[in-house]
Amino acid sequence: MTEPISNPDLHSWYARPVLFVSDVRAALRFYVDQLAFVKAWHSKDGKGTVCQVNRGSCELILCQDDKRRDKSRLFVELNREQLADLRRLITERSISHDYTWWGYDVIRILDPDGNELLIPTEGQ
């Protein structure tokens, strides 16, 4: 039997999902211009194929890699105010989306490469 962790903060993990994209610049336009993320960094002084976008504490690494055509699914839980803001963005910017079930009723947004963002329709 393992000993309990005495200080959970000491052992917390920091994770950022990597979404593989076919065109990092097109992906950046989608996440920044449509979903209001902010570009945090971009390899090779903005000329590279890897970058990070942030929206609050949601941080995504976008990676253009011709050998990877994987699809990812990101589950994003928002509070009521954040959900209302997202719904406003969807309407104002005509963001393509649909509604589905994934353990909850969720809004499903696909990025240009088919990566899914699932957001529960009931904010916390």
Q: What is the pLDDT along the chain (124 residues), one digit of tens a residue?
A: 555 556 656 567 788 999 999 999 999 999 999 999 999 999 999 999 999 999 999 999 999 999 988 899 999 999 999 999 999 999 999 999 999 999 889 999 999 999 999 999 986 6
Contact between residue 74 and residue 110 where contact means Cβ atoms under 8 Å apart: no
Q: Give residue 120's Cα distance to chain centre.
A: 14
The reply to whether 26 falls in a domain is yes
Contact in structure between 39 and 48 (CB atoms under 8 Å): no
Asked whether residue 78 is domain-assigned, the answer is yes
* Residue 1 placed within a domain: no
Q: For position 82, which CATH number holds?
A: 3.10.180.10
> Is residue 10 in some structural domain?
no
In a domain, 71, yes or no: yes
In a domain, 8, yes or no: no
Structural contact between residues 107 and 99, judged by C-beta atoms closer than 8 angstroms:
yes
Task: Give the integer Cα–Cα distance in Å for 120 and 20.
Answer: 23
In a domain, 9, yes or no: no
Q: Are strands 98-101 and 73-75 parallel, antiparallel or unpaired?
A: unpaired
pTM of the entire structure? 0.85
Q: Which residue is listed with tokens 């920091």?
A: 14
When divided into structural domains, the chain yields a total of 1
Residue 4 belongs to some domain of the structure: no
Which residue range is the domain that position 40 belongs to?
A: 15-120
